[in-house]
Amino acid sequence: MSLMQSTRPLDPWRWLGVPALACVVATIVFAIPIKVFGLLLPEPVFPMVLAFAWAVIRPSVIAPFVLMLLGLFLDVFWGGPMGLWGVSLLASYTVVLASRSIMTGQSRPMRQVWFAGATGLTMLTGFLISSVISLAVPNLLAVFWQFLATTVLYPFAHRLIERFEDADVRFR
**How would you write the pLDDT of the chain (172 residues) with one tens digit per residue?**
444 444 555 666 777 899 999 999 999 999 988 887 877 778 899 999 999 999 998 778 899 999 999 999 999 999 989 999 999 999 999 999 999 988 878 889 999 999 999 999 999 999 999 999 999 999 999 899 999 999 999 999 999 988 877 655 444 4
Please report the pLDDT score of residue 3 as a whole number.
Answer: 45
Give the CB-side neighbour count of residue 145, counting CA atoms within 13 A.
10
Cβ proximity of 27 and 69 under 8 Å: no
What is the end-to-end Cα distance of the chain in Å, rounded? 20
Nearest 5 degrees, angle CA 93-CA 158-CA 40? 85
Please report the pLDDT score of residue 74 as a whole number.
Answer: 96
Please report the pLDDT score of residue 120 as a whole number.
Answer: 97
Helix (H, G, I), strand (E, B) or coil at 35: strand
Host domain of residue 158: 3-171
Number of domains in the chain: 1
Tell the burial category of 115 from Cβ atoms under 10 Å away from its Cβ (0-12, 13-18, 19+): buried
Please report the pLDDT score of residue 57 as a whole number.
Answer: 85
Q: How far is CA 98 from each of CA 10, 58, 104, rounded to the nearest angstrom?
A: 22, 11, 12
